[in-house]
Each structure stands twice: as C-alpha cells, then as structure tokens.
Amino acid sequence: SYYWVHNLIGMIPPPDLTFMVIHLSYYAFMFFSYKN
C-alpha cells in the first residue's frame, strides 16, 4: 500500500498536484458557499 502510494506520487509532478489540490479546494468552497 505504501509503495503503491509512493509510486503514484512519484508519477505526479508536484506543480500539477498542487494545481489539482487548489482547484479541488476552490470548487469545494464554491459548492458549500452556494449550498448554504
């Protein structure tokens, strides 16, 4: 399990991963803001 996650992270460039996290946080924020 650990090796699988390590290999998966190794395949993803840090900038792309950060970009994805920022977008996920942005859409989550917009979703909850619209819902409330």
Ordered per-residue pLDDT tens for the chain, 36 residues: 567 666 766 666 666 778 888 889 999 999 999 887
Q: Where are the alpha helices (DSSP H) in 1-36?
A: 2-11, 14-35
Question: What is the residue range of 16's domain?
Answer: 2-35
Question: What pLDDT shows up at residue 6?
Answer: 67
d(CA 31, CA 15): 24
As for how many domains the chain has, the answer is 1
Length of the chain in terms of residues written: 36
Query: Can you give the pLDDT at residue 36?
Result: 72
The confidence score (pLDDT) of residue 20 equals: 84
